[in-house]
Amino acid sequence: MEESIHTQPSSSVETTRTPPHPLKLWAGRLAGIVFGLGLAWLLVELMMRLFFFSLPPRWQLVLHDVRVTPFTDRKLLPDPIWQSDIDYLTINRAVQDYDQFGSAEVHYTVNTETLWGGRVAFRTRQALVDQHVDGVAVGDSFTFCFTDEDDCWVQRLSALTGRNVINMGITSTGSTSHQRVLETFGMPLAPPLVIWQWFGNDANEDYGLALLRGETDIRTTEPAPKVPKLGWWDKNSAVYVILRLYFGPEEDFDASLQFYDPEHAQKGDIALAFGQPYLWSAFDMSQPHNAYGWERSQAAFLESQEMVSDYGGTLLIVLMPTKEQVYRDMAEPLVGVDHMALLDEGRDRMLAFCEQENLTCFDPLPVLQAVAAQGEQLYFTTDMHLNARGNDVLAEALAGWLDDHPDIFAGSD
């Protein structure tokens, strides 16, 4: 007998889901947006650090204080080897194989040593000083040189002439400082030749040293921009700093951007930027503080001339021009006639002073201009200093001048 099995159809169970609350939905979306933005922010932070030296010069200048990570004091642009000093305004620290950045564009290796156990380091070696010294060079960053040592005009001059010329240049110093360096470190060597490099901001630096030492009550009518107090975000977030640059108060970055050349020009293979605001204030001889500094500069020259001539040496003053003066045809249309006149005034004063006081002065401007006119770039694009080729041209010009004055070393050979 067949049995028939009947099964009852199972009833379908319908599940209904309760839709999420709108607040929860939007909270999730917002969290996703925040996470995405945070991830993008971190990615941009990383990229700006990896490609810092390819960023626009304006960005590099405002980012130089940003740390590589929040867990270290190391900055995107490493600290320089020079530091403030009460006697010289600035001194160099002793370093070996140090990666020095004059700016993000200008990078070179530095070795410096102190002499006779002093606290001031120079771009030379005690072993060279202990030999017979033919000459010493005093000056600012143009003598210290923003190049590798072998490319610096002081060392190049030594190589070209076979003379032992000691580099005693210190960045960010003026004529008063140069006199003190010469008196303390140069005079014990009684060098037959003293090369004194002058630049148009020396009067401004001489005023700065006097102010630092409390030797003047004169106050500038155009004080240097104040460096704002940096918060955590300023020190650790490159993105935050760039956002502030474009959307915050402009004056917050005046201190960093005073060394920024805003005007760019291209002529053949020559690419140069001109017109950093620092020049217009530091070279302005109508300002009382610069006029005061010029008085101190003149006194330093005259006292040093007497100091050197007393033992029969020769003081040669080298007038270092700006890149705007060397490339006047490119710079003047961009910075204007008035600004060019401001740069020329200091040089004109110095040349007149040399003639008035019968000082031996060498003006390399015509030589540099002649080489520049041949299509050669003698200065860095976004930095005020001579590049390796510019240093070489200056060294060759000085070597030629020395060939014309063999009597300088007559008594020392």
Q: List, for residues 355-378, the tens digit of each pLDDT value.
A: 999 999 999 999 999 999 999 999
118 and 219 belong to one structural domain: yes
Largest CA distance in the chain: 144
Q: Residues 307-364: pLDDT tens digits?
A: 999 999 999 999 999 999 999 999 999 999 999 999 999 999 999 999 999 999 999 9
Residue 25 has a pLDDT of 67
Residue 293 has a pLDDT of 97
Whether the predicted model's global pTM rises above the 0.95 cut: no
The answer to whether residue 209 is domain-embedded is yes
316 and 173 belong to one structural domain: yes
Q: Are 100 and 110 in contact (CB under 8 A)?
A: yes
Answer positive or negative: Cα dihedral of 188, 189, 190, 193: negative
Q: Look at the chain and report how many structural domains it folds into.
A: 2
50 and 86 belong to one structural domain: no
The answer to whether residue 369 is domain-embedded is yes
47 and 166 belong to one structural domain: no
Residue 70 has a pLDDT of 86
Return the closest-CA partner of residue 112 out of 80, 156, 73, 75. 80
Q: How far apart are CA 336 and CA 270, in angstroms?
A: 20
142 and 34 belong to one structural domain: no
Mean pLDDT by 10 residues, the chain (413 residues): 48 61 71 80 90 89 90 87 96 95 86 94 96 97 97 98 98 98 97 98 97 93 79 92 91 89 96 95 95 98 98 97 98 97 96 98 98 98 96 98 94 67
The answer to whether residue 241 is domain-embedded is no
Domain holding 104, by residue range, is 82-231+260-409
The answer to whether residue 124 is domain-embedded is yes
The enclosing H or E element of 195 equals strand 193-198
The answer to whether residue 245 is domain-embedded is no
Return the closest-CA partner of residue 223 out of 186, 266, 180, 254. 254
266 HSE (CA, 13 A, CB side): 2
Report the chain's C-alpha Rg in angstroms.
30
105: CB partners within 8 A, 6+ apart:
57, 380, 381, 382, 383
201 and 104 belong to one structural domain: yes
195 and 325 belong to one structural domain: yes
Q: Are 401 and 362 in contact (CB under 8 A)?
A: yes
The CATH number of residue 118's host domain is: 3.40.50.1110
396 and 334 belong to one structural domain: yes
Return the closest-CA partner of residue 292 out of 341, 220, 345, 237. 220
269 and 170 belong to one structural domain: yes
2 HSE (CA, 13 A, CB side): 3
Residue 412 has a pLDDT of 67
